[in-house]
Amino acid sequence: MADERDVDAVVIGGGPAGEVAAGRLGLAGLDVVLVERELVGGECSYYACMPSKALLRPGDLVHEVGRVPGVVLGDPPLDVPRALARRDEVVHDLDDAVQLPWLEERGVSLRRGQARLEGERLVRVGDELLRARRAVIVATGSGPAVPPIPGLAEAAPWSNREATTAKEVPGRLLVLGGGVVGVEMAQAWSSFGASVAVVEAGPRLIAREEEFASQEVLEGLRAAGVDVRLGARATAASRGAGGQVGLELEDGTALAGDELLVAIGRRPRTEELGLETVGLRPGEAIEVDDRMRAGGSDWLYAIGDVNGRALLTHAGKYQGRVAADNVLGRDARAIADGPASPRVIFTDPQVAAVGHTLASAREAGLRVRAVDHPTSGVAGGSFVGRNAAGTARLVIDEDRDALAGATFTGAEIAEMLHAATIALVGEVPLDRLVHAIPSFPTRSEVWLRLLEKDGR
C-alpha cells in the first residue's frame, strides 16, 4: 500500500522559483515538501544563467582590458582549460549537495522523483501520496523547443544544456536561432576559439529588444568573427557517420559544423504533471492570475517559466514570493513580471532593458517619445567601456511624464539597469527624477544627459 502524508504545501520543481516559494513557506512554519526529479537549483543554476555567465566573463574581460591603454594582454589572452574549470566550479560539477542545507535551514523536506497530480490537492511521488492542506505550487520550468525541421532530431543537436556544460571547445559551432541563448553562446564559444555561425530566420537578432540593440549586438558578433546570417531559414539537418553536422538553408546554402545548437525558444514542462486530473491541458503553459493562482483555483499555483508570463529567473523568484504570500493569507499580487520585466543579455555590447521598447509601447497604445544618448558619452566612459559601442534610451510616457521603458547597451552595462527598474516601478515623475544627482565621473551621468535632452 502506498504511503500517504498530509502536509501544508507541496512545491513541484526545485529551481529558483520553487526554492523561493518553498523557503518562504518553510520560514513561516509550514510543513512543506519540495519535489525535484533532477537537480535542486534547476536549469538556471546548472545549465543556463550561471554557467553561461561563467563562459562569457573571460571574453568580457579581454575586451575591456583591450580598451584600457597601458594594460598588456598575454598571448593567448585566455587559458581556456582554466576558464572551463571555473565554469565547472560555478555549477558545482553538476552536484546539488551545496543547495540542500539552504532547504534544511528553512525546514523544507525534499523528495526526489517525478511528481504527478492525482486530483485536487493530491500529488504522487513514487509510492508516496502527498495531501496538501493549503496549496500545490507548480514550478517545473521550461525545456528547449525543437522545430520540426527534417533530420534535426536525428542530428542530436545541442540544447542550452550541452552548450553550457561542454568539456571541449567545438571547432565549428552552428547556432540555430538569434535570441538570447543563441547570441550569448555564439559570443562565449567564439571567445574560446570556435568558428561560429548563427542562423536566424527573422530580419534581426534579439528581436524583442530595441532595433539599435539588435544592430549593435550584430556588429559586435561580426567583429568577433561570428558568421551571422539573418533572414535565413533552415530546411534540413543531418549528422554524418564521422560526427559532422550539416544544416541546409532555404536559399540552397549548406553549412557544416562539429556541433549544432538549437536555440529557438522554450516550452513549458507540463506534459507529465497529471494536469488533466484537475481540468488543465498537459503540454501547455498554466495560465494564472496576478496572485499566481491557476484555473481560478484557491489551492493550485504556477510560478516561473511554466506559466509563460516572463521566462526569466528573477521573474520566477518574484512570482515565488507572491505565491507564497498568498498561501500565507496575504494579499499579494504580481505587477512587474510581464513582458516589461527587467532583462540583460550578456553579449559585447551587453543589452540591459526594462519596460517597453519604443515599438512595444506604441503597440500597447501609449503616447511615448524616445530620448537617446551614447552610453559612454560621459566622463565615466573614459574609464569603463572606452570607445565601445553603446546607446542609452529612455522611453517616456507622455501622459504620465514618467518612464515607460529604458534600454542601455554597452560594455559592462548590466549593473546600471536597476536604477531604471526602480524609476519605472516607482513611477517616478521625470521632474522629480532630474533631482537624482549622478556621481562624477561615473557612467550613471548618462541619466542626466538623457533628461537634459528631454528639456529638463
- In this prediction the pTM is 0.96
Nearest to 137 by CA among 276, 2, 23: 23
> Which three-class secondary structure state does DSSP give residue 20?
helix
- Rounded to whole angstroms, the Cα distance separating 290 from 445 reads 36
Structural domain including 421 reads 349-453
Q: Are residues 289 and 178 in the same domain?
A: no
Q: Are residues 9 and 139 in the same domain?
A: yes
Q: Are residues 228 and 170 in the same domain?
A: yes
Running DSSP on this structure, what letter comes out for residue 94?
G
- Decide if 58 is inside a domain: no
pLDDT per residue over 386-443, tens digit each? 999 999 999 999 999 999 999 999 999 999 999 999 999 999 999 999 999 999 999 9
Q: Are residues 318 and 360 in the same domain?
A: no
Q: Which of 223, 238, 264 is the last residue of a domain?
A: 264
Which three cell numbers mark 81?
582549460
Q: Are residues 139 and 10 in the same domain?
A: yes
Q: Are residues 16 and 136 in the same domain?
A: yes
User: Would you state the pLDDT for residue 2?
Assistant: 62
- Decide if 11 is inside a domain: yes
Q: Are residues 170 and 238 in the same domain?
A: yes
Reply yes or no on whether the pLDDT at 1 is more than 50: no
* Contact indicator for 207, 214 with CB cutoff of 8 Å: yes
All residues at 6 or more sequence positions from 210 whose CB lies less than 8 Å from its CB, including other chains: 353, 357, 358, 359, 391, 393, 407
The enclosing domain of 380 has a CATH number of 3.30.390.30
Distance of CA 62 to the CA centre of its chain: 24
Reply yes or no on whether the pLDDT at 258 is more than 80: yes
Q: Are residues 131 and 227 in the same domain?
A: no
pLDDT per residue over 323-353, tens digit each? 999 999 999 999 999 877 999 999 999 999 9
- Decide if 344 is inside a domain: no
pLDDT per residue over 351-383, tens digit each? 999 999 999 999 999 999 999 999 999 999 999
Q: Are residues 359 and 445 in the same domain?
A: yes
* Contact indicator for 38, 137 with CB cutoff of 8 Å: no
- Rounded to whole angstroms, the Cα distance separating 97 from 118 reads 30
- Decide if 160 is inside a domain: yes
> Which three-class secondary structure state does DSSP give residue 21?
helix
CA dihedral 233, 341, 391, 436 (to 10 degrees): 180
Which three cell numbers mark 61?
574581460
- Decide if 435 is inside a domain: yes
Which three cell numbers mark 437?
544627482
The enclosing domain of 18 has a CATH number of 3.50.50.60
Q: Are residues 12 and 139 in the same domain?
A: yes
* Contact indicator for 294, 288 with CB cutoff of 8 Å: yes
Number of domain units in the chain: 3
- Decide if 87 is inside a domain: no
Nearest to 352 by CA among 289, 271, 429, 408: 408
Q: Are residues 249 and 177 in the same domain?
A: yes
User: Would you state the pLDDT for residue 296?
Assistant: 85
Please provide residue 32's backbone torsions phi and psi, each rounded to the nearest 5 degrees: -120, 135
